[in-house]
Amino acid sequence: MTENIDTAAAFGAPKETAREGRLGYLPVALFGSVMGLAGLSSAWKLATLIYGAPQWVSQAIGLLALLAFVAVAIGYAIKASTGPHAVKAEFLHPIAGNLFGTLFISLLLLPIPLVDYSLFLARACWLIGTAGMLPFAWLIISRWLGQRQQAAHATPAWIVPVVGLADIPLAVPLLQWPGAADVAFFSLAVALFFAVPLFTLILSRLLFEEPLGVGLQPSLLILLAPFAVGFSAYVSLVGEIDRFASALYMLTLFMLAVLAGRLRHLARNCPFRLAWWSVGFPLAAAAGCALRYAGHAPGPFTNGVALFLLAAATVVILGMGLRTLIGVATGQLRNLAT
């Protein structure tokens, strides 16, 4: 029998353990807020290089990302120390377990704003993120291959471990660490290899199984991430935009157009929940992808797309951040997590 996989079981703590310990309802997926802010900071840093945007914007958003990471990490540490069974249940869940990758992805993205303040801390953050992301991806892929999976569990969240591997190269050019390039190439190769079959599996599930629950609809935008992040990771490593990179950029725009059509009524049909943060990083990654391409091939179309996506990502991510803070201030965080 197919398990009900609405928000509380997929992007939140499993229902049976959500009341265990303090903050038992806090989902590990909330690290997606850090990803969104760090990705937006990176996009604004590109806008500074290409269009001369004020540098303080990227620095301010980067500082927000660092503060968000500290806050979420403290909250989840409280959950882990007071309700370890809740963490175990979340990790073993066939969908929510993949979202532990958001912790390591956050650590891989934070060096981009952090390098402006300390190269040592940026390197340390990247090293910890890489040391966690590689075995985590191995563990998740081994779990997929070693256990029978249900088709209904093949949701966009399955892409997170793969996207995490593709995030490893992003900060490498800033770290001035030649030895990191080999690890970055390895990670990108594995990410691109697994992205294709995973995308196919998820597309098949969306076509032939029951539709995703309303609470999971925002996660559809995760399908954008392999192309947008893959583009930026590839360009970061090879140092140029060739035909393959151009193809990834064009796929990003096409998928964004498809998904925008699916999600255009999302705000009306799906009230804000923490699961909405699954929208943030893919949108920021798409903006970063478009900005890089606009810098390579400037023109009315490429510049227009880049600026539009940067504006959209900024409004959406900062809006979600404000809504989350209001929820925390008014004691609604538990409701937003379910």
The residue among 173, 107, 165, 118 whose CA lies nearest residue 139 is 165
∠ CA 25-28-34, nearest 5°, is 125
CA distance 118 to 277: 28
Rounded to the nearest 5°, which phi and psi values hold at 86? -65, -40
Please say if the pLDDT value at position 161 is more than 80.
Answer: yes
Integer CA distances (angstroms), 328 to 35, 64, 157, 198, 275, in order: 19, 16, 25, 35, 15
Q: What is the mean pLDDT of residues 312-323?
A: 95
**Number of Cβ atoms within 10 Å of the Cβ of 244:** 14
Domain boundaries, the chain: 10-336
Give the CATH architecture of domain 10-336. Answer: Alpha/alpha barrel (1.50)
* pTM given for the model: 0.92
The span from the first CA to the last CA of the chain, in angstroms, equals 23
Q: Is the pLDDT score of 8 beyond 50? A: no
- 6 confidence band (pLDDT: 50, 70, 90): very low
Integer Cα distance of 211 and 319 in angstroms:
27
pLDDT tens digit string along 186-215?
Answer: 999 999 999 999 999 999 998 888 888 777
Is residue 76 pLDDT above 70, yes or no? yes
Give the pLDDT score at 4: 45
Strands (E), 176-316: none
What pLDDT, on a 0 to 100 scale, did the predictor assign at position 210? 83
